[in-house]
Amino acid sequence: MCAIVGIYGNANAARLASMALFAMQHRGQEASGISSSCDGKIYTKKDKGLVSEVFDEASLDYLKGNMAIGHNRYATAGSDSVLDAQPVYAKYKLGEISIVQNGNLINKEEVRQDLIDKGAIFQTSMDTENLIHLIAKNSKDNLRDRIIEALERTVGAYCFIVQSRSKQFAIRDKYGIRPLSLGKLRSGGYIVASETCAFDLLEAEFIRDIRPGEMLIFSEEDEPESIQLYEAEFRPCAFEYVYFARPDSVIDGKNVYTTRENMGKALAFNDANSNIKVDMVVPVPDSGVPAALGYSAQSGIPFKYGIIRNHYVGRTFIEPTQEMRNSKVKMKLSPMSSIIAGKSLLVIDDSIVRGTTSKRIVKMLKEAGAKEVHFRVASPEIKYPCFYGIDTPTKEELISTKMTKDELCEYIEADSLEYLSLEDLVNAIGNDRHYALESFDGDYFVKK
């Protein structure tokens, strides 16, 4: 669930790319990197850490040229954040190349082993490096054809931006699982980015979403060239709307904030005939806020910030280890005792994945004096691992595969627990299309 950006045709390409990555820091906070291109040479700067830590004036001065690609890394446990930072750069027969990717290739191990058997030497554990080797080993005379043939051996959820010394290629898989949008910069040139919140910061005009199965080619031509590589089978990821995307982004034509507010309204509608009596609706900040506002608007129950978030602590779900996630929860969230003491609370979070965070939140609120804590989740139960880019690789990590709803309610020590149904989730986002819902229904529609 990384963030990627491409800037083409602007003298301040690297600086604009760094600003776009800053706007999309929520998509990955372990490492960041940018490659720029100038006078036939590609310059790359990448390191572990946040965007503000990796890039300073000296590094941005080094990243010369009117085109740049960038990446924020969303890590998995056990991988090296320096070696596996992107962009991935290489020299090959046609010159220099750099690639960034958002997503996950489900046939990566088979392709990698085949490449190794044929003599390839890998420097990282990233599936992105597969594409570099597939392009380099191809015998076609131009990069465009090499990319097209490399993609024929690439299966999974992906958005790629490939940069040569003079061109950029932006590609989205035929399912459109991961988001990617095109914009026009007011100061000149184009931007491609994972989320439209990057456009807002750079004052770029949104043009359109890159279509599933489409490749855009940016060159010295006035307009990017579009090639439809595959017939679209559109299945955007529902989890973008539940958790990952920033609420002010528009993902494939749908405002994220509005969809989350709709999720909260659906929860309230389902609770209308319940016997619970609560004094206030309390969000788990920040991702639970829009749903809590929707619940409050639908139910008439007051919305209160009963939990305060320390914004200098990052997102706990995307921390690479459980130990780090546990420590971050305590640092990140603080209960407002003066507001919640003696009150019955309806607490709303976006999802329950491993259950440890929810348990700590309920305990924290009761220790702060809450009389009751009724927990509501603005998504269905997550029962299946995702192989398309979310860090839930095994069923053992998903608490809803091991416990019923009642057992989980008892485990987190809540007074009641309810989830959004799958039907209500789809209606909240918009039932005009099919979604990637594999975390909820186990439908792994992308086949090797």
- What span, in angstroms and rounded, lies between the C-alpha atoms of 157 and 441? 17
Max CA distance (Å), the chain: 73
- What span, in angstroms and rounded, lies between the C-alpha atoms of 164 and 180? 20
Phi, psi of 115 (to 5 degrees): -65, -40
Distance of CA 372 to the CA centre of its chain: 34
Give yes or no: 2 in active site: yes
Which DSSP category does 242 fall into? I
Are 144 and 169 contacting, i.e. CB atoms less than 8 angstroms apart?
yes
Hey, how many other C-beta atoms are within 10 angstroms of the C-beta on 309? Answer: 15
| Close Cβ partners of 61 (under 8 Å, ≥ 6 residues apart) | none
- What span, in angstroms and rounded, lies between the C-alpha atoms of 87 and 97? 10
The SS3 of residue 341 is coil
Angle at 398 between CA 447 and CA 439, to 5 degrees: 35
Distance of CA 270 to the CA centre of its chain: 29
- What span, in angstroms and rounded, lies between the C-alpha atoms of 322 and 221? 49
The SS3 of residue 333 is strand
Go through the chain and tell me how many residues it has. 448
- Name the one residue in this structure whose structure tokens are 């603080």: 334
**Helices 128-136 and 143-151: crossing angle, nearest 10°?**
130
- The residues pairing with 101 across neighbouring beta strands, listed in sequence order, are 160
Tokens of 290: 């829009």
- What span, in angstroms and rounded, lies between the C-alpha atoms of 381 and 402? 11
Phi, psi of 39 (to 5 degrees): 50, 45
- What span, in angstroms and rounded, lies between the C-alpha atoms of 145 and 128? 18
Least Cα distance to 238 among 389, 401, 40 occurs for 389
C-alpha dist (Å) from residue 428 to 73, 238, 255, 419, 420:
29, 10, 11, 14, 10
List the catalytic residues. 2
